[in-house]
Structure 1
Amino acid sequence: MKGNSFFHYSVYRKMLGNFVLLVAIAVLAVSSTLYFLFASRTEQTIGNHVISMLQQTSYASNIVHEQIETIGSHLLNNNRVITSLMNKQHSYVQDRDAMDILMDIQATYPFIKYLGIYNDYTKRYLNTAGTPFKLNELEKRHVADTSDMAYMSYFPQDLLPSYADPSAPPEHVLTFILRPDYALTSAYKGAIVIHVDEKYILSTIQSIGSGSDDVFVMDTGGLVLSHTDSRQFKRSFGELPYIQRILESGQTADHFKTEIDGRNQLVTYVKSSQLGWYFVSIKPYHTLIADISILRGYTSLIALAIIVLGGMTAYFATNKLYNPLGRLISKVHEATGTDSSDRKQKRNEFSLLSEAFSNVIDQATSVEAEKRQSLPVLKKTYLQHLLKATHADLSSTNVIHSAIDGHFASPFYTVVLAQIDRYEAFEQKHDQRKQGLFRFSVSNISSELLQKHARNEAIVVDERTLAILMLPEAPLEPGGLLLTLAEIQEVIQSYFHFTVTFSIGDTVSDRNEVHHSFASALEYANDRFFLGSKSIIHAELVLRRQTFHAYPASAEKKLSEALRLNHAGKIDQALGLFSRQLREMSYYQAILSANQLLNVLLRDFDGTLPIMQDYSKEYFDTVNALQKQETLEEVQELLRNFCRLISVLAEKKQTSKSDSLIDSICAYLQERYQEPDLGIETIAVDVQLSPGYLGKLFRSHTQMSFNDYLKNIRMEEAKKLLLTTGEPVAAISEKVGILNTTYFFTLFKKTYGFSPAQFREQHGK
């Protein structure tokens, strides 16, 4: 029967054939993959090992670079060295003092071959190598070259000291030229010259490679600075293809396989972070995978044996599986009404099974997808109803209701509110799309970080408020929760540049009482008025505040008297007293008292200052803005500005005083225009006026704005300096009080139609 199954049943043939094919493909795929993975892993491991060693060598070069900078700073801060470097007259005594210092430094740092300083005035070059004290031609060119204005530059050279045997080979060194900072803007070309022994670098890179490896160091142009083959010193490798690949790569460390001189090589490189040098190792590739050829032979034999064994296993497995599968196919034929006796060889039974099961799977998938899509939305809706205590009105199917009920099951519930601080400014700064993104980000960050305390669900209550329902298994530990909320505040401020205030509602043990926790969190949030932005408010913090409800009538009386006297100091004192008494009230009483004060001030000064009727809009704007202030400091500033308005209106009767004030400000600007931080805000503080009112007063007197008047003074002074001095434009810009040279160029050209350089060239003639 089993032998006939192969010839009579298409399902049996396909099962057996597929089993055998699957075994063969799997064995071949696994064998090939293991072989290539082993080769790749070998290459990767060796490459990473070499990169690690190169990075250590690179770090050593960075240390040398830092020590050279340290030596340069030490020499430039030594009076005896500076004297010898900058003295315009040669002195043997000074040279001897400087030479002692140079010899001490050379003895301290083993990588220094020779050390010297070059005086551009006397053309004398002190060098620890000895006489004659002269730069060679290559050193002269680099010292005299002004195209490179960097503090430090370097170049390789073959150095033959004057005292050496003429037949001795030259010494390979890396010569560093250090220029004093103040020489960068003058014609002075004095320099500190440090010769680093190339053998010092060679000794570090020789430990990386074996006898068949090439290891070398090159600069960003491909010039060899050190090589295990000393004959390659100063040779340019920049035209070699694999070197170009290294130089064009944006990575600081990598390895790759390439063909060099007809042979495969593993090239590994690391780029120094400070000097920009490339440390390169080249290993013959065949030495890395020498044993893999033998491994490939054994792998092929084992794979063939596994395929044969797998074929036999597939035969027995097919016979075992076919009996229940055949019965299933027969039932499907019966259910679909097809004849299974005459079409066994022609009919593809798998298509029938696939079609039958696909219908079942599609139906199940559709139901599951609908459930997954609706569940998050229903959870948010259910949470909204929980906070409002209307969840009993929420209707749903039994399946979804049980899922929601299980998700929100918890022995304790705590609502945490997050409110965006200074929301009015936040709303003006960002459009609706960005506001939504910020709320979404705050929700995700808060929910994610609070997960370590308990499960939670977050929902946006309104445009400025986010609610987070905590579902802990035990009462939350206050200290840890406060630390996490502070961490969330820091993250939000760091990434999004605005702050939030958290309020923690009372913990309840019944889901039907969640709205009480929400209401308490809203009530506690009002204390942000006293505690300020970026606060974390909880019940204990609120209860510690002792409040009373008496209106501060004495502070109001003192404020009215100070306003009648128009005494700025007493006004501030009275406002401070009023604010301190507001701090001892409840939130609603404080807002009510501030409103009452505004009404009293309007009543007291509306009769004495008839002109105040023209500014009734400012009063109503202040009253409306008062309801939007989030902190007591903001309310205090609002009241202060209103008091300043009253003071200004009182002074409007004395126009002659205003004219005198503006004249003195104009004279002050003529005298102090060169101060870069000169602005109307600073002057407004000095004259005890609001910047807005001072700006209006200034424009009415001079027929131009404060900024335009100051700009004209600075531009006229700049014209004079451009025509009468040879100072650089940047220096003139600073002298007239504009530190941003680019802005000075733009402003000058906009005012006169010429750039500063064009104006000097045309009008200077």
Structure 2
Amino acid sequence: MPKYSRVFRKFLISYIVILMIPSIAGYMSYRTSISVTQSVSIENSVTQLQKSKEILERRMAEVEGFTRQLAINQDLSILMNEKGSNEQSNVYGIWKMMRDVLTFGQTNDFLQHFFVYLNNYNVVLTPGSAYFRPEHYYENFHYADISFSEWRRTILGKTHRSEILPLSPFLNKGTETSVVTYMQSLPLDSFNGSSPAIVVVIIDRKTISNLLSGITDRYGGWAHISDAQGQTIGLQGIEEQDVEKLSADKRFDKEKVSQFYDDDLVITIRSSTNDWVYRAGIPRQVLLENANKTKYITWSVTGIALLIGLLVGLLLSYRNSVPINRLLGVMKDQFGQDGHADRNEYDFLHGNISEMITNNKRLESELHRQLPLVRDAFLKRLIAGEFQSREEIIAAAVQANAGLNGNAGYVGILQVNGYSGMDTVEILNELNAARLILKQALSDSGSSVRMTDVGSDKIVFLFAYEDKPTAIQFGKEEISKTLNRVSQLVFDEYRISVTAALGDLFGSVTEVSHSFEQAKQALEYAVHANKKGTFWFEETRSESATYYYPLDVELRLIGTIRAGEIEESKRIVQSIITLNTEQRELSFEMRHQLVGEMKGTFLKLLDQKTFMESELFESVKNRIIEIQATESFEFIREEIHGIMEALCGLIMSKKNDSHTRTVDQIKEYIKASYADPDLTLYRVAEQVERPEKYISQLFKEVTGMNLSDHLEKIRMDHAATLLKSNEYTVDEIASRVGYNSSHSFRRAFKRVTGISPSAFRQSVED
């Protein structure tokens, strides 16, 4: 004890002071317990209702998103624009559309019942059936208070823009229920009158009511949802006439968030997105039940604390002083005694920890200084095509903190004119200054652009957009204006003349290097033709009869297949076929050579051990050999797609097995180490020898749960088991399941289970 006397005494004095506080606060707690517990209950009830509101709004947003997906569905667009009739229908197109919409209801229970009405074919499409006469659909599913003619006129014969019908009686194959109806005409820009197609989503009242069951089941109260006009959308635990009576009562303030009405606490929340009103009623006695328990527990806890407080203070003082003295010992070993005998222990720790923090900041500053170089190296590797897969690019971008801010865009080259062949020191200095000026001008242009040097007189720049349609619609015009403005600016102010050359649109980050190669070709053409200003690759039509299949494209295709990225592989193959059919006219011999080289690429792939040991080897090899150059390119493309799907499927199967093993390893480690309070994502990553961000994303993809949530669940499950045994106190249980603070444990337990540890233990005893 003398060794720890100074630190020990300081802790003990602190705990004695703390012990004096409960005796003073006991009476205050007694007086305030009822009001505080009631406030907490109200807050929890508001939170619960808010969560139900957010879930419902999210589901309705998903319904709206579903209609937007249908609006851009190519199969549906074809059906809408065809001139169909009842006598002659596009049966295959209708069947294909039915297959497209079949899976939507599996992810959102609001989409369990919906149909698409095609006006030109007078057909109703559902996920399971196609009704070539709407009256057949009406026989099975119809509103109880709407006739067929009225249904056809008001639902199918009008244009709807995200229109929602309130709760209405409905007959589902003879079964009576009530539904809320969401209607959207297609295309989305349809005006008044009939539209080519209408999407109608029928949401059962029970589905909406299930979202409110968290309130009614927990508190035994009621819940009601109404739209901006006061029409009912959903209700649970209350009748329609009772809701009307409540709304008509002048004593009831509709604008208050919470208020007592009769024997209920009524909570009202209004949605900011659609002006829907969410209202819930909770019985008063349920709210006060916890308050009464708190009143008795407060006096019991206060008395027990005064009796055993001193003993606990002694124990905690010793327990908390031990790690500090251990830390002091480590510090003295690492940094020396430094006059510790005459210094306060905390001053000693403060000085050395401050030095450690200072050194850490210096290291962080150095890393920030190196970051531009890392970003530049990443861009150089990206345009050079050194990455083999999309996953590799994303991982490198995260490490370099150099995201492109988009998945589609254009790569271009800016060349400073007038310095070709000049390499003196003075010229190189001038070019260096010119490049800096150009980079600054591009940065100041207001566009999202990434840049890197290539050569002494060239700058590679990359414009990225969120998606391919945006890049097609706005990209070229915006880039041309930006480059013209920058070119004019640097010429007027610095007399620097530049030529800009850009490649075609890349639809994925794996195609950046291809767009860069096109930009180089366009620049060579522009220099050769003595063209100035901005020049696009599409303006250089190849006059050569030779085919296009460079080595870097072949290597990128092989790399994407090895990575199992089927979509990227298909894009590369489509690019090869497009460049050889639309921009070239191949002779019969060149066509044979191109097909032969592409077959050779896939035969090379089959030489890999992964594919040679697979049972697919012989069948895929035969499919490759059977491809004939005399077939159409469309047929060849489909055959190649089939081969790539088989190979990528094999790769992804092996990847999934590897991912599952990694996740199982993580689970086993967490199961064995959950009681360690220092168990962090870094420790888990170190155990499985993977990067932190990688295992975090992998665990989420495989299990659907965040790794931190899984760890918390494991700890709470063990805590519940220990609480049931009644062998340890709550503080001891907190320590045994990996929490340094019992307060943090109590908050976590209540967040996961909905009740405090003490209440959980009491419920088990009862």
Question: By the TM > 0.5 criterion, same fold?
Answer: no
TM-score between the two structures when normalised by the length of structure 2: 0.33
TM-score w.r.t. the length of structure 1 is 0.33
